[in-house]
Copies of this chain bind each other. A is one copy, B any other.
């Protein structure tokens, strides 16, 4: 089942009620397709979207928390309690130490959350697969927010990545990010073997988000 992921990041117009409205637009399109849509809202909005929509909600990041400390840190326990279905780990804008990547993947397993680890190369992807994550999000930082999808710029990189994952850990899904901005990009991602694709700024920047989303949904249905 094809999956499409929306990362709200800290983009304007994605916090609080505005974010809930965005998520409901996504949900409305979601109901008309077989595709699965996932949203990654800002941390204070996890519960709002988990309770207010039927979408899968993933936390943008979590923190390592020492017992009995941790002011300002976001514990995995807290995002699970807020209704998250998964956690994004090692995002390039909030990178995690190696020890934290290990601890967070294990923590997701024990809290029954989907672990989604960001990597930017075949080498780093292979290292993370030894930790048995549920999903790898593959994107090169240089492609983010450019409108130049890796699928078009470097299809051979995507194929090499997908092939490595299939060989090392067939159960792990591959999510493609980085410059995905159109239904054609989404179609390319699935054609190259990805299990999912995602975008951040493209949806928020679209002149008509619902129309943009419907075109993405059509691409998902076509898979």
> Which residues from chain A sit less than 8 Å from chain B, CB to CB?
7, 9-12, 15-18, 40, 42-48, 59-61, 65, 67-75, 77-79, 81-82, 88, 90-102, 106, 119-121, 123-124, 126-128, 130-131, 145, 200-201
List residues of chain B with CB within 8 A of the CB of A12: 67-68, 77
Contact B96 A124 (CB under 8 A): no
Given contacts A44-B81, A65-B10, A69-B10, contact A102 B123 (CB under 8 A): yes
**Shortest CB–CB separation between residue A77 and chain B, in angstroms?**
5
The residue on B at minimum CB distance from A120 is: B99
A-B contact pairs, 5 of them (CB 8 A): A15-B81, A42-B75, A47-B47, A48-B82, A99-B120
Contact B45 A75 (CB under 8 A): no
Pick from B81, B93, B127, B145: contact of A17, CB under 8 Å: B81
